Amino acid sequence: MINRLCAVVEDYPKPGITFRDLTPVFADGPALRAIVDSLIEPFAGGFDAVAGIEARGFLLAAAAAYSAGVGVITVRKPNKLPRRAYTEHYALEYGSSSLQMHMDDLTPGSRVLVLDDVLATGGTLAATTRLFASAGVRLAGIGVVLELNGLRGRSALAGHRVRSLARV
């Protein structure tokens, strides 16, 4: 279902890159339900909240949190949050970036399931795991819809339980 519905866009965002667009998968109601159920099933009962990474991770996290009856946490790009926030910096191929989370969204000791659309190099997800660690929050696991095997992102998440629904 994921491979059938996923749009493959060549040379985006730059020549030589094959972009896998999951928005058609999310637009299909039965597919979205199946994805959310499959992402949270192995972690059932093991998390107090679901976190989504900006931006497509928000879609998955909100649906998963609703389905599981828990709260949703947003992991945002810099300068998007109005209250005091934890910040985690990380390296990109040509520069750096950071992610933020409100300091009072979760209490220390809480358990969070992190969801995102794609696991590529693992930099964003690894930064997210460090962000929650700095907040004293325990990581229940990481769920992604699509994992790009050639970029070896899973190695950046060593020690964490990772669930991916499709690999290319």
Q: What is the mean pLDDT of each run of 10 residues along the chain (168 residues)?
A: 93 91 96 97 97 96 98 96 95 84 95 97 95 96 96 94 96
Beta-carbon contacts of residue 144 (< 8 Å; ≥ 6 apart):
39, 115, 116, 117, 118, 119, 125, 162, 163, 164, 165
Predicted confidence at residue 94, as pLDDT, reads 72
Predicted confidence at residue 58, as pLDDT, reads 97
Pairing of strands 162-167, 85-92: unpaired
Distance spanning both ends of the chain, measured CA to CA: 14
Burial of 168 (0-12, 13-18, 19+ CB in 10 A): middle
Predicted confidence at residue 101, as pLDDT, reads 96
Preceding amide of 63 cis, omega within 30: no
Instruction: Identify whether the C-beta of residue 51 lies closer than 8 Å to the C-beta of residue 113.
Output: yes
Predicted confidence at residue 92, as pLDDT, reads 75
Residue positions annotated with a catalytic role? 56, 93
Predicted confidence at residue 133, as pLDDT, reads 96
Q: Which residue has the tokens 């095997």?
A: 149
